Amino acid sequence: MTITITAFERSPDGGKGLARDTRVRWALEEVGQPYRVRLVSFRALKEPAHLALHPFGQIPTYEEGGLALFETGAIVFHVAERHTGLLPDDAHARARAITWMFAALNTVEPPVLELANARLLEGDKPWHAARLPLVEARVRGRLDQLSVRLGNADWLDGAFSAGDLLMASVLLRLKSSGILDEFPSLAAYLARGEARPAYQRAFDAQLAVNTGKARIH
Ligand SMILES: N[C@@H](CCC(=O)N[C@@H](CS)C(=O)NCC(=O)O)C(=O)O
């Protein structure tokens, strides 16, 4: 069955891989599933045809036969459940990997996004300079806890899993902030994720869209 995902026609990051279609592409590459991409303009995101797929008017979406999904956590979970390579077979290890998926999206991503928004959207506010250190402290707090748990391990719980895929995807957003460099083990963890051939293919594919070199289906 053909898999079709949506991505920005033109990503605000210009192809740095921060748009969330990259996570879905990465998951599909990890499990060796081909997929098509439908590019969507910002205007089309809020039009009825796209809102029927995604109630919040965002990317990415995922379509496969009669199934339409939104939310990267749900999409990556669906891909991981249906194919081998992203979730362990052992029931306890699998539950722990799923826990890390939720931790990435529910516990680590919120302060990371808060920081991105503070920097990108609030720079002109009179309270920006006072608020920024507070937001940065919340990010550092989470990274500190995460780095303690990771320790010297390569991945969060045994072999690479969908939990690592989502955690690395979240940490990617911090690369340009410099904060990640304060946590060398996490910077190395992210580098290991980025070095995976599946990630490279996903990154290159989204970059090609933004440099006009993608083959559009
Ligand atoms: N929680 C959602 C977030 C999706 C999201 O924020 N998508 C962004 C691109 S990375 C988007 O479409 N932004 C445009 C908008 O919200 O209008 C997920 O993980 O899928």
- What is the value of pTM for the model shown? 0.97
Rg of the chain (C-alpha set): 17
- What's the token pair of residue 171? 């940490």
Q: Is the CB of 61 under 6 A from ligand 1?
A: no
What span, in angstroms and rounded, lies between the C-alpha atoms of 134 and 114?
A: 11
Residue nearest to atom 18 of ligand 1 (CA): 71
| pLDDT of the residue at 215 | 59
Question: Are the C-beta atoms of residues 61 and 70 closer than 8 Å to each other?
Answer: yes
The tens digit of pLDDT for each residue in 47-65 reads 999 999 999 999 999 999 9
| pLDDT of the residue at 213 | 80
pLDDT band, very low/low/confident/very high, at 44 (cuts 50, 70, 90): very high
Sheet holding 3-8, edge to edge: 36-40, 3-8, 61-64, 67-70
Our mutation pick for probing the ligand 1 site, out of 58, 106, 120, 121, counting the most ligand atoms within 8 A of Cβ, is 58
CA of 92 to the centre of ligand 1 (A): 31
What span, in angstroms and rounded, lies between the C-alpha atoms of 64 and 87?
A: 20
* H or E element in which residue 50 lies: helix 48-51
- What's the token pair of residue 79? 């891909």
Any residues with CB less than 8 A from the CB of 85 and at least 6 apart, and which?
30, 31, 32
Phi-psi region at 175: left, alpha or beta (left = phi > 0; alpha = psi -120 to 50): alpha
Is the model's pLDDT at 216 over the cut of 60? Answer: no
pLDDT band, very low/low/confident/very high, at 212 (cuts 50, 70, 90): confident
Q: Is 36 helix (H, G, I), strand (E, B) or coil?
A: strand
The tens digit of pLDDT for each residue in 65-87 reads 999 999 999 999 999 999 999 99
Q: Is the CB of 86 under 6 A from ligand 1?
A: no
Residue nearest to atom 1 of ligand 1 (CA): 71
According to DSSP, residue 90 is labeled: S
Decide the pairing of beta strands 61-64 and 3-8. Answer: antiparallel
